[in-house]
Amino acid sequence: METVDGAAIVISPGSIHNHEPAPRHAVEIRRFRNSIRQRGLAENIASHSIVDQEARLYSEAAMNVGRLAAVRAVAWARHRNRPPVTKTLAHWIATIYSQEWGPELRYINGSMEPFYQGPLEILRNNGTVHFIGIVFNNAAFIRNMSPHLNSVKAICMDGTFQTTPREPADINQLFTIQIILNNVAIPIVHALLVDRQMETYCRVLQYLRFILINLNYNNMQNITDFEQGLRNAITRVLPEANNTGCWFHYIQHYSLCTKSSTG
């Protein structure tokens, strides 16, 4: 059917016009969602920051979508665009340094400060190098906090075996070191480790002491669980510190023993 500019469009009586009109802000909503998704994939910025910035440009659409739903949309877009899962933890290093995934994986959100600090390795007596894990920390934050670190009198160390990536399968634990500053626990080291050996813990503590920060360990209180390998490593690497057990783990173990004996 030919049309003429300005002519009316007549719908024949036999036609059924049954679709609803598009919402008032449908085009703006589509643009808003596309914009936050594209920025989520292209920029190393927290999801909520992207949403807040774009909401200033698409205010009506942002109100219709909702802030929580928009943040989830950014997170979901990033989740669908993830690097391939490697077979071993050691193979992660190549992915982290790759041109495709490096900018997203190596740095702290919203800055070019590195969060990934490199592999942890042990030199064996026979000259071979044994890979034990990878380490992360916010070195810029620690530099900014350096004037206050002399007041640190307690440090906490613990590994979690449940809250870890399921793949690669050789990840054994996420080991975290925290300092207590003004009664606040501040994590300063995160290490993904492949085992729980004493020499592995020694290497992590060497990184803490000789590479990251050199706290005053004289009479420093080291709070850990009762894992013997970790306690032995602390005695070797931080001999001047006081190695104490964790009250929570002690009560937990005591409670389990009490229940088993009365059950």
All residue ranges of the chain with pLDDT < 70 are 1-4, 9-24, 110, 214, 246-263
Cis ω before 168 (30° cut-off from 0): yes
Query: pLDDT value at position 56?
Result: 92
Amino acid making up residue 34: N
pLDDT digits (tens, 9 = 90+) for 58-87: 999 999 999 999 999 998 988 887 888 899
Q: What is the pTM of this model?
A: 0.71
